[in-house]
Structure 1
Amino acid sequence: MNTNLSPATWVSRVNRAFRLGQGPQLAWGRMLRGVVGSGLCLAVSTSLTGCSSLTQPINGIPANRISPDFFPEPKNDLVPVDIALLSLEPPRDYQLGPDDILGVYIEGVLPFNPPNEPPQPPPVNFPEENSTLPPSMGYPIAVQDDGTLALPLIEPLKVKGLTLEQVRDKIRQAYIDSDILREEKARPIVTIIKERTYDVIVVREDSNESGNQSGRNNTGPLRGSDRSASGGLVKLPAYKNDVLHALVETGGLPGLNAKNEIKVLRASEADKRKRADFLRNYWAGQRAAMADPCYCGPELPEDPSILRIPLRVRPGVIPNIAEADITLHDGDIVYIENRETEVFYTGGLLPGGEYQLPRDYDLDVLGAMALAGQGIGSAAGGAGGGLGGASSVGGVPPGMLYILRKTPCNGQIAIEVDLAKSINDPRSRPLVQPGDTLILQYKCEEELLNFGLGTFFTYGIRELLRN
């Protein structure tokens, strides 16, 4: 048998053989002639037009050959931080400090009672709305900035750090020692009318006016989120002036649209100067180095004056959060930062769009494709694809995905993902990280197969039905 015949000779011999047979054989012969002719057209089309992997090549590196340095850290095994670490443990007895307002009643002294007149009853004070304090008795007297309490006829008493019972005993002894009250008459009443408070600023970028906490449509492309911040000035009572109470007063823990951390910026002048000096020194060094055209500057390092409190950590890791870290003072700022830059982009045969990455779990390339509306093993919907758009008839799905990942100094690496291998090999299924661009393409053989199948169903079946 001669195997070196040209396709035209094979067609001629097949036609001659089928012309000697009956009608159905003749029909099959014509159909076969159409298929062989389609093969010739396929070869011509390939040589003239080429496939997208040839006309739009991407030089990728297989995912299982990439260094781990190019992949993000997994998040699936992170566990939430115990939120009790963000709250202060109040003392058993309230300890006084500047700006506390006490209710003090001293019979015969406060208020002054003329001789031979019945003593006046102490006034009763009801707490403000939302206060947890019980009703109090006595005349309001504030603890001074120096921690002293000024009372009639005696020197100011140092009460900072004392409990109410200790202050009551100290007042009683002071009036006895000064021969103002007899021991049996010295029965002062000391209560607390209002606790001292701390003014803290909370800035949150994890909510908007639309009521959607995330501000994003997690099942489709992003819809133009609003990064306007909410929050404001919060007054926190003493021993509740911590990060957890500041969050509770402004809506709770950070939402899904916020980063898994809390920033605390101190209001002291020393911390402000430290932050300003840090940025000034960093940018001065950057400007000096930019004179070298080959210079690749490092990313902006963490500001040491900003306290960052993580909300999720590795199992078994206990974050080093001291009581001083979570204690807030007047003017301190609690900042919840938006994570709107944690997105990835799609293109090629994937519907183009911008999608937000999940905050608390990993997303691999197969999940990212599903999020973009392209399930694994399905033909590229609405993309046409293939030579002449025949893939809609052929139905062979695209099998090559490229991840365009940014590297330092405006560089880029293309990671090649063979979708057929990625189904069975997790190492060929890399995680998506912020800034990635996912490009879905046909392999050259897939486009050719789609074109051949499409041509067969278009011309071969037509020839069969014609006869």
Structure 2
Amino acid sequence: MRTKLPAVERTRRLIRSATTAVAASLVATALSGCSALTQPINGVPADRLPSQFFAEPKNDLVPVDIALLSIEPPRDYQISGGDILGIYVEGVLPFNPPNQPPEPPPVNFPDADSTLPPSIGYPIAVQDDGTLSLPLIEPLDVDGLTLEQVRDAIRDKYIDEDILRPEKARPIVTIIKERTYDVIVVREDGGGTPNNGLNVQNVASQFLTGGSDRSASGGLVKLPAYKNDILHALVETGGLPGLNAKNEVKVLRASRADQRKRAQFMQQWNLQQQALRLDPCACPPKLPEDPSVLRIPLRLKPGVVPDIDEEDVVLKDGDIVYIESRETEVYYTGGLLNGGQFPLPRDYDLDVLGAIAVAGSSIGGTAQQFGQSVGRGAQGVPPTMLYVLRSDGCGGQVAIEVDLSQAINDPRSRPLVQAGDTLILQYKCEEEAINFGLSTFFTFGIAELLRN
């Protein structure tokens, strides 16, 4: 027959059992090793880090007025090389014998995708030098003239040459086809014309879920005169850059002078890099801006006036419009976080707390959520030590130490995540000791109490 222990004795045994369990957990933690001791990371607290190691905020960036990407057409269309005019000169074009009635001018209907009205006259092309060749007269220089001015020039020329009498000189001049400019558009954001079967939203969603593809799409785009600008080139190939593209447009001019500048720039850059490799202490600089490549940002800080001239947005034959992917704008996770690669938002900031949430972990979760068993029904202590491994720009790295318990309450203690960062989450030693003690108590301490 068991003797029932007094209440005071049961309390003493309970205290001894709990003390024994906690002591055993501390000894086991010391023997097994704390991850902060066995895998140390020499970090610098976020509030002590110089400003050059922090990412530039982009929450306050304002979109650029897209009207700046287009050119303003003149009130009256100005003729130039490549235009096809419809011209009718009674008795001359076409030639008509004096004893026969004049032939009526032909009517030309534009293509289905053209915005021009029907035209009248015989098609005569304006030469590349801006001249117009007509029967019985020398070529006329019509470059930069309007239709009305071209009509007056033809009339005056035939009257001056005594070919037509003033009362019979009534030429008709219309536009059959506008001149066009062949522009190449290369897009790495999945944009494209409806004919290529690409869905911009699907490609953008693939990037946001970590499955981007940097294969480029694009082709040759024919832009009519006074629509040969960046905005029309983008509209013809799918619109403005998507979420998986950089917020800028690059323009590479097709002129030989610009091509030589680009080649000289890359040659000088390679020579500079070879010289720096001979010095082990040198810090290789970033690739500077190519002076022959025009970069037009699509978002700027408030109050900044975009420096975009009309000459910048005009496109000529052979120019290349390039939409670059931002596939490298990602961050990585490790440690107690779910390992993976995650894209950064393009138009807003992401701090370390948001980055942890994107990685699929809860900031205030329990120890079980981070892979540590505590016991049935027990809520363990979550890890609160985060290290952000960031490149210093010279081949090394700096470890930013972030205390999550402090970062939750102080926005200044949670730095923004930038491209290339690696986030590693660890337990503090005291957190591992507490969790191990709770696990030991619920495993052995409860059993010991039940036996007593």
The CA distance in 1 between the partners of 2:382 and 2:424, in whole Å, is 14
Q: How does 1:59-78 map to 2 (within 5 A)?
A: 59-78=42-61
Across the two proteins, how many residue pairs are aligned to each other? 442
User: Who is 1:94 aligned against?
Assistant: 77
Shift of 1:394: 4.5
Shift of 1:178: 1.3
Give the secondary-structure state (helix, strand or coil) at the position aligned to 1:240.
coil
2:381/2:435 contact within 8 Å kept: yes
Give the secondary-structure state (helix, strand or coil) at the position aligned to 1:116.
coil
User: Who is 1:265 aligned against?
Assistant: 252
The Cα offsets for residues 300-323 of structure 1, whole Å up to 9 and x where unpaired, read as: 111111000000001111111111
The CA distance in 2 between the partners of 1:217 and 1:289, in whole Å, is 36
User: Gapped runs of 5+ residues in structure 2?
Assistant: 192-197
Q: How does 1:191-210 map to 2 (within 5 A)?
A: 191-207=174-190, 209=198
User: Who is 2:155 aligned against?
Assistant: 172
Aligned pair 1:51/2:34, yes or no?
yes
User: Who is 1:390 aligned against?
Assistant: 374
The CA distance in 1 between the partners of 2:187 and 2:180, in whole Å, is 21
Shift of 1:458: 1.9
TM-score normalised by structure 2 residue count: 0.94
Give the secondary-structure state (helix, strand or coil) at the position aligned to 1:231.
strand
1:168/1:189 contact within 8 Å kept: yes
Partner letter of residue 94 of structure 1?
A: Y
The CA distance in 2 between the partners of 1:293 and 1:166, in whole Å, is 69
1:207/1:215 contact within 8 Å kept: no
User: Who is 2:135 aligned against?
Assistant: 152
1:391/1:450 contact within 8 Å kept: no
User: Who is 1:309 aligned against?
Assistant: 296
The Cα offsets for residues 281-336 of structure 1, whole Å up to 9 and x where unpaired, read as: 11112212322232222111111110000000011111111111110000000000
Percent same amino acid among aligned pairs? 69
Aligned pair 1:235/2:222, yes or no?
yes
2:368/2:374 contact within 8 Å kept: no
The Cα offsets for residues 190-240 of structure 1, whole Å up to 9 and x where unpaired, read as: 00000000000000000175752325353x5x23x2111111000000010
Shift of 1:391: 8.0
2:207/2:213 contact within 8 Å kept: no
Per mean C-alpha deviation after superposition, the further-off stretch among 353-362 and 178-187 is 178-187
Over the aligned positions, Cα root-mean-square deviation in angstroms equals 1.8
Residue 432 (structure 2) aligned to one of 436, 439, 447:
447
Q: How does 1:215-294 map to 2 (within 5 A)?
A: 216=206, 218=208, 222-223=210-211, 225-294=212-281
1:200/1:332 contact within 8 Å kept: yes
Aligned pair 1:434/2:419, yes or no?
yes
Shift of 1:264: 0.3
2:185/2:220 contact within 8 Å kept: yes
Give the secondary-structure state (helix, strand or coil) at the position aligned to 1:41.
helix
Shift of 1:459: 2.1
The CA distance in 1 between the partners of 2:277 and 2:331, in whole Å, is 30
Per mean C-alpha deviation after superposition, the further-off stretch among 143-152 and 390-399 is 390-399
429 and 316 in structure 1: CA distance in 2 versus 1, 3 angstrom threshold? same
Residue 409 (structure 1) aligned to one of 391, 394, 419:
394
Partner letter of residue 261 of structure 1?
A: E
User: Who is 1:363 aligned against?
Assistant: 350
User: Who is 1:372 aligned against?
Assistant: 359
User: Who is 1:418 aligned against?
Assistant: 403
Give the secondary-structure state (helix, strand or coil) at the position aligned to 1:216.
helix
User: Who is 1:354 aligned against?
Assistant: 341
Shift of 1:183: 1.1
Partner letter of residue 179 of structure 1?
A: D
The CA distance in 1 between the partners of 2:106 and 2:312, in whole Å, is 41
Shift of 1:269: 0.5
The CA distance in 2 between the partners of 1:113 and 1:289, in whole Å, is 79
Per mean C-alpha deviation after superposition, the further-off stretch among 40-49 and 78-87 is 40-49
Give the secondary-structure state (helix, strand or coil) at the position aligned to 1:432.
coil
102 and 381 in structure 1: CA distance in 2 versus 1, 3 angstrom threshold? farther
Aligned pair 1:131/2:121, yes or no?
no
The CA distance in 2 between the partners of 1:153 and 1:451, in whole Å, is 104
User: Who is 1:5 aligned against?
Assistant: none
2:370/2:382 contact within 8 Å kept: no
210 and 326 in structure 1: CA distance in 2 versus 1, 3 angstrom threshold? closer
TM-score normalised by structure 1 residue count: 0.91
The CA distance in 1 between the partners of 2:366 and 2:397, in whole Å, is 28
Partner letter of residue 152 of structure 2?
A: D
1:31/1:461 contact within 8 Å kept: no
2:17/2:449 contact within 8 Å kept: no
Shift of 1:28: 4.7
The CA distance in 1 between the partners of 2:81 and 2:144, in whole Å, is 10
User: Who is 2:319 aligned against?
Assistant: 332
Aligned pair 1:321/2:321, yes or no?
no
Give the secondary-structure state (helix, strand or coil) at the position aligned to 2:71.
coil
The CA distance in 2 between the partners of 1:416 and 1:155, in whole Å, is 81
User: Who is 1:12 aligned against?
Assistant: none
The CA distance in 1 between the partners of 2:49 and 2:130, in whole Å, is 64
Give the secondary-structure state (helix, strand or coil) at the position aligned to 1:39.
helix
Partner letter of residue 214 of structure 1?
A: A
